[in-house]
Chains A and B, each alone.
Chain A
Amino acid sequence: MEIVIIILAGILIGAAVYLMLSKSLIRIIIGTAIMSHGVHLMLLTMGRLKRGSIPVLDEEVSNYSDPLPQALILTAIVIAFALTAYTLVLALRSYRELDTDNVEEMKGVPHDD
Protein backbone atom coordinates (compact mmCIF):
# COMPACT_ATOMS: atom_id res chain seq x y z
CA MET A 1 0.00 0.00 0.00
CA GLU A 2 2.75 2.42 0.92
CA ILE A 3 4.51 1.95 -2.40
CA VAL A 4 1.37 2.90 -4.33
CA ILE A 5 0.94 6.07 -2.34
CA ILE A 6 4.59 6.96 -2.75
CA ILE A 7 4.31 6.53 -6.52
CA LEU A 8 1.18 8.67 -6.45
CA ALA A 9 3.04 11.35 -4.55
CA GLY A 10 5.80 11.14 -7.14
CA ILE A 11 3.31 11.58 -9.97
CA LEU A 12 1.79 14.58 -8.22
CA ILE A 13 5.17 16.20 -7.71
CA GLY A 14 6.11 15.45 -11.31
CA ALA A 15 2.94 17.16 -12.50
CA ALA A 16 3.67 20.04 -10.18
CA VAL A 17 7.16 20.46 -11.59
CA TYR A 18 5.77 20.42 -15.11
CA LEU A 19 3.23 23.09 -14.23
CA MET A 20 5.75 25.21 -12.40
CA LEU A 21 8.08 25.24 -15.38
CA SER A 22 5.45 26.85 -17.59
CA LYS A 23 5.23 30.56 -18.08
CA SER A 24 1.77 31.42 -16.90
CA LEU A 25 1.34 32.65 -13.32
CA ILE A 26 -1.84 30.68 -12.75
CA ARG A 27 -0.20 27.47 -13.87
CA ILE A 28 2.68 28.09 -11.51
CA ILE A 29 0.30 28.65 -8.60
CA ILE A 30 -1.63 25.48 -9.42
CA GLY A 31 1.74 23.76 -9.61
CA THR A 32 2.67 24.83 -6.09
CA ALA A 33 -0.72 23.70 -4.81
CA ILE A 34 -0.33 20.26 -6.41
CA MET A 35 3.20 20.02 -5.08
CA SER A 36 1.92 20.61 -1.58
CA HIS A 37 -0.62 17.81 -2.08
CA GLY A 38 2.14 15.44 -3.12
CA VAL A 39 4.23 16.39 -0.14
CA HIS A 40 1.32 15.98 2.28
CA LEU A 41 0.61 12.54 0.87
CA MET A 42 4.25 11.69 1.46
CA LEU A 43 4.00 12.91 5.04
CA LEU A 44 0.92 10.74 5.59
CA THR A 45 2.71 7.72 4.18
CA MET A 46 5.71 8.26 6.40
CA GLY A 47 3.52 7.76 9.47
CA ARG A 48 2.66 4.28 8.12
CA LEU A 49 -0.65 3.54 6.51
CA LYS A 50 -2.86 1.20 8.42
CA ARG A 51 -6.44 0.85 9.33
CA GLY A 52 -7.14 1.43 12.96
CA SER A 53 -9.51 3.15 15.24
CA ILE A 54 -8.98 6.73 16.27
CA PRO A 55 -6.31 7.17 18.91
CA VAL A 56 -8.07 7.58 22.22
CA LEU A 57 -6.79 7.74 25.74
CA ASP A 58 -7.50 4.14 26.49
CA GLU A 59 -4.88 1.58 27.23
CA GLU A 60 -6.94 -1.36 26.01
CA VAL A 61 -6.97 -0.13 22.42
CA SER A 62 -4.24 -1.98 20.59
CA ASN A 63 -4.96 -1.21 16.96
CA TYR A 64 -4.84 2.53 16.56
CA SER A 65 -3.38 4.73 13.87
CA ASP A 66 -0.56 7.17 14.53
CA PRO A 67 -2.23 10.52 15.22
CA LEU A 68 0.82 12.70 14.74
CA PRO A 69 1.12 12.68 10.90
CA GLN A 70 -2.58 13.45 10.66
CA ALA A 71 -2.22 16.43 12.94
CA LEU A 72 0.84 17.58 11.02
CA ILE A 73 -0.92 17.28 7.68
CA LEU A 74 -3.89 19.21 8.96
CA THR A 75 -1.57 22.04 9.94
CA ALA A 76 0.33 21.85 6.67
CA ILE A 77 -2.88 21.84 4.63
CA VAL A 78 -4.13 24.92 6.41
CA ILE A 79 -0.86 26.69 5.71
CA ALA A 80 -0.87 25.60 2.06
CA PHE A 81 -4.46 26.82 1.77
CA ALA A 82 -3.54 30.24 3.10
CA LEU A 83 -0.52 30.45 0.81
CA THR A 84 -2.48 29.47 -2.29
CA ALA A 85 -5.20 31.97 -1.49
CA TYR A 86 -2.69 34.74 -0.99
CA THR A 87 -0.76 33.95 -4.17
CA LEU A 88 -3.98 33.90 -6.17
CA VAL A 89 -4.90 37.36 -4.92
CA LEU A 90 -1.40 38.52 -5.66
CA ALA A 91 -1.46 37.03 -9.16
CA LEU A 92 -4.65 38.90 -9.92
CA ARG A 93 -3.18 42.10 -8.54
CA SER A 94 0.04 41.80 -10.47
CA TYR A 95 -1.86 40.94 -13.62
CA ARG A 96 -3.74 44.19 -13.32
CA GLU A 97 -0.66 46.17 -12.42
CA LEU A 98 1.88 44.65 -14.80
CA ASP A 99 -0.59 43.83 -17.59
CA THR A 100 0.86 40.38 -18.03
CA ASP A 101 0.71 36.98 -16.47
CA ASN A 102 3.66 35.73 -18.45
CA VAL A 103 6.74 35.34 -16.29
CA GLU A 104 8.86 35.80 -19.38
CA GLU A 105 7.86 39.46 -19.35
CA MET A 106 8.42 39.84 -15.63
CA LYS A 107 12.10 40.64 -15.60
CA GLY A 108 14.26 43.70 -15.54
CA VAL A 109 13.33 46.78 -13.55
CA PRO A 110 9.84 48.00 -14.35
CA HIS A 111 9.08 51.67 -13.93
CA ASP A 112 6.08 53.05 -12.17
CA ASP A 113 4.13 55.47 -14.25
Chain B
Amino acid sequence: MKHTLKKTEAGKGQKQMNDVFLQFVSKVVFFIVIMFSFNLFFAGHYTPGGGFVGGLLAASALILLLIAFDKKTMEKMIPINFRLVLTVGLLFAAGIPTLSFLFGTPFFTHQHTYVEIPIFGEVALHSAVLFDIGVFLTVAATALFIISLVGEAED
Protein backbone atom coordinates (compact mmCIF):
# COMPACT_ATOMS: atom_id res chain seq x y z
CA MET B 1 0.00 0.00 0.00
CA LYS B 2 2.77 2.38 0.89
CA HIS B 3 4.73 1.91 -2.26
CA THR B 4 2.73 0.53 -5.08
CA LEU B 5 5.39 1.53 -7.56
CA LYS B 6 8.14 -0.75 -6.30
CA LYS B 7 11.41 -0.30 -8.01
CA THR B 8 11.99 -3.45 -9.97
CA GLU B 9 15.47 -4.80 -9.75
CA ALA B 10 14.71 -7.48 -12.27
CA GLY B 11 15.15 -6.35 -15.83
CA LYS B 12 17.98 -4.04 -14.93
CA GLY B 13 21.03 -4.88 -16.98
CA GLN B 14 19.21 -7.88 -18.24
CA LYS B 15 19.23 -7.71 -22.00
CA GLN B 16 16.17 -8.93 -23.79
CA MET B 17 16.92 -12.47 -24.73
CA ASN B 18 14.98 -14.90 -26.81
CA ASP B 19 11.85 -13.09 -27.77
CA VAL B 20 11.77 -14.76 -31.13
CA PHE B 21 8.06 -15.40 -31.08
CA LEU B 22 7.12 -11.95 -29.92
CA GLN B 23 9.53 -10.27 -32.28
CA PHE B 24 8.50 -12.27 -35.30
CA VAL B 25 4.79 -12.03 -34.60
CA SER B 26 4.92 -8.33 -33.86
CA LYS B 27 6.65 -7.67 -37.17
CA VAL B 28 3.69 -9.22 -38.95
CA VAL B 29 1.00 -7.91 -36.65
CA PHE B 30 2.44 -4.42 -36.92
CA PHE B 31 1.39 -4.19 -40.56
CA ILE B 32 -2.03 -5.65 -39.88
CA VAL B 33 -2.67 -3.15 -37.10
CA ILE B 34 -1.40 -0.25 -39.18
CA MET B 35 -3.60 -1.24 -42.11
CA PHE B 36 -6.58 -1.56 -39.79
CA SER B 37 -5.87 1.87 -38.36
CA PHE B 38 -5.85 3.36 -41.86
CA ASN B 39 -9.05 1.50 -42.59
CA LEU B 40 -10.67 2.94 -39.47
CA PHE B 41 -9.38 6.38 -40.37
CA PHE B 42 -10.91 6.38 -43.84
CA ALA B 43 -14.09 4.70 -42.66
CA GLY B 44 -14.61 7.51 -40.21
CA HIS B 45 -16.40 9.73 -42.64
CA TYR B 46 -19.78 8.04 -42.63
CA THR B 47 -19.32 5.09 -40.26
CA PRO B 48 -17.69 4.66 -36.85
CA GLY B 49 -14.00 5.42 -36.87
CA GLY B 50 -12.04 8.52 -37.60
CA GLY B 51 -8.82 10.28 -36.82
CA PHE B 52 -8.77 9.75 -33.09
CA VAL B 53 -9.33 6.00 -33.07
CA GLY B 54 -7.10 5.53 -36.08
CA GLY B 55 -4.36 7.53 -34.45
CA LEU B 56 -4.58 5.53 -31.24
CA LEU B 57 -4.42 2.30 -33.18
CA ALA B 58 -1.40 3.46 -35.18
CA ALA B 59 0.29 4.40 -31.92
CA SER B 60 -0.52 1.00 -30.47
CA ALA B 61 1.10 -0.68 -33.47
CA LEU B 62 4.25 1.31 -32.84
CA ILE B 63 4.07 0.53 -29.13
CA LEU B 64 3.92 -3.16 -30.01
CA LEU B 65 7.27 -2.77 -31.74
CA LEU B 66 8.49 -0.85 -28.72
CA ILE B 67 7.57 -3.76 -26.45
CA ALA B 68 8.98 -6.47 -28.68
CA PHE B 69 12.26 -4.73 -29.41
CA ASP B 70 13.59 -1.66 -27.67
CA LYS B 71 13.53 2.04 -28.31
CA LYS B 72 16.72 2.18 -30.34
CA THR B 73 15.68 -0.64 -32.64
CA MET B 74 12.28 0.91 -33.15
CA GLU B 75 13.80 4.25 -34.01
CA LYS B 76 16.02 2.49 -36.53
CA MET B 77 13.05 0.68 -38.03
CA ILE B 78 10.92 3.79 -38.26
CA PRO B 79 13.20 6.79 -38.57
CA ILE B 80 10.58 9.46 -37.94
CA ASN B 81 10.90 12.41 -35.61
CA PHE B 82 7.68 12.18 -33.65
CA ARG B 83 7.89 15.71 -32.35
CA LEU B 84 7.75 16.85 -35.96
CA VAL B 85 4.80 14.53 -36.62
CA LEU B 86 2.99 16.06 -33.66
CA THR B 87 3.66 19.55 -34.93
CA VAL B 88 2.58 18.76 -38.48
CA GLY B 89 -0.59 17.21 -37.08
CA LEU B 90 -1.35 20.31 -35.04
CA LEU B 91 -0.66 22.47 -38.08
CA PHE B 92 -3.11 20.47 -40.17
CA ALA B 93 -5.75 20.47 -37.45
CA ALA B 94 -5.50 24.22 -36.94
CA GLY B 95 -4.55 25.32 -40.42
CA ILE B 96 -7.23 23.61 -42.49
CA PRO B 97 -10.12 25.28 -40.63
CA THR B 98 -8.31 28.59 -40.97
CA LEU B 99 -8.02 28.16 -44.71
CA SER B 100 -11.78 28.52 -44.95
CA PHE B 101 -11.23 32.25 -44.42
CA LEU B 102 -9.85 32.34 -47.96
CA PHE B 103 -13.26 31.28 -49.23
CA GLY B 104 -14.92 34.00 -47.18
CA THR B 105 -16.70 31.49 -44.98
CA PRO B 106 -16.49 31.21 -41.19
CA PHE B 107 -13.85 29.18 -39.40
CA PHE B 108 -14.19 25.41 -39.77
CA THR B 109 -16.49 25.54 -42.79
CA HIS B 110 -15.76 22.49 -44.88
CA GLN B 111 -16.08 22.00 -48.60
CA HIS B 112 -16.93 18.72 -50.22
CA THR B 113 -17.45 17.32 -53.65
CA TYR B 114 -17.94 14.00 -55.39
CA VAL B 115 -15.40 12.72 -57.88
CA GLU B 116 -15.61 9.83 -60.32
CA ILE B 117 -12.53 7.64 -60.05
CA PRO B 118 -12.17 4.72 -62.50
CA ILE B 119 -11.99 1.71 -60.24
CA PHE B 120 -13.63 2.94 -57.05
CA GLY B 121 -16.58 4.62 -58.67
CA GLU B 122 -18.00 7.72 -57.04
CA VAL B 123 -15.80 8.93 -54.21
CA ALA B 124 -16.64 11.70 -51.77
CA LEU B 125 -13.85 14.22 -51.30
CA HIS B 126 -14.17 16.26 -48.16
CA SER B 127 -11.84 18.84 -46.70
CA ALA B 128 -12.67 17.43 -43.25
CA VAL B 129 -10.41 14.52 -44.17
CA LEU B 130 -7.44 16.88 -44.15
CA PHE B 131 -8.43 18.05 -40.69
CA ASP B 132 -8.75 14.43 -39.64
CA ILE B 133 -5.25 13.71 -40.90
CA GLY B 134 -4.10 16.34 -38.44
CA VAL B 135 -6.02 14.64 -35.63
CA PHE B 136 -4.60 11.26 -36.66
CA LEU B 137 -1.00 12.45 -36.64
CA THR B 138 -1.37 14.41 -33.39
CA VAL B 139 -3.02 11.56 -31.50
CA ALA B 140 -0.60 8.93 -32.77
CA ALA B 141 2.46 11.02 -31.95
CA THR B 142 1.16 12.13 -28.54
CA ALA B 143 0.19 8.62 -27.45
CA LEU B 144 3.54 7.26 -28.53
CA PHE B 145 5.34 10.14 -26.88
CA ILE B 146 3.60 9.60 -23.55
CA ILE B 147 4.09 5.83 -23.56
CA SER B 148 7.77 6.13 -24.38
CA LEU B 149 8.11 8.76 -21.64
CA VAL B 150 6.58 6.42 -19.07
CA GLY B 151 8.42 3.41 -20.37
CA GLU B 152 11.88 4.92 -20.36
CA ALA B 153 14.32 3.00 -18.24
CA GLU B 154 15.26 4.64 -14.98
CA ASP B 155 18.47 6.49 -15.31
Contact = CB atoms under 8 A, between A and B. Distances in A.
State if A and B touch, Cβ cutoff 8 Å.
yes
Interface of A: 22-27, 74, 78, 82, 85-86, 88-89, 91-92, 95-96, 100-102
Interface stretch (B14-22, B27-35, B61-69, B146-154): B146-154
A78 B1 contact: no
B5 A26 contact: yes
Interface of B: 1-5, 52, 142-143, 146, 149-150, 154
A82 to B, nearest CB: 8
A102 B146 contact: no
Contact of A24 (B4, B146, B154): B4
Nearest to A26: B4
B4 A89 contact: no
30 contacts: A22-B1, A23-B1, A24-B1, A24-B2, A24-B4, A25-B4, A25-B5, A26-B4, A26-B5, A27-B4, A74-B52, A78-B52, A82-B142, A85-B142, A85-B143, A85-B146, A86-B146, A88-B146, A88-B150, A89-B146, A89-B149, A91-B5, A92-B5, A95-B5, A96-B154, A100-B3, A101-B4, A101-B5, A102-B2, A102-B3
A61 to B, nearest CB: 15
Contacts of B52: 74, 78
A28 B52 CA distance: 26
Contacts of A95: 5
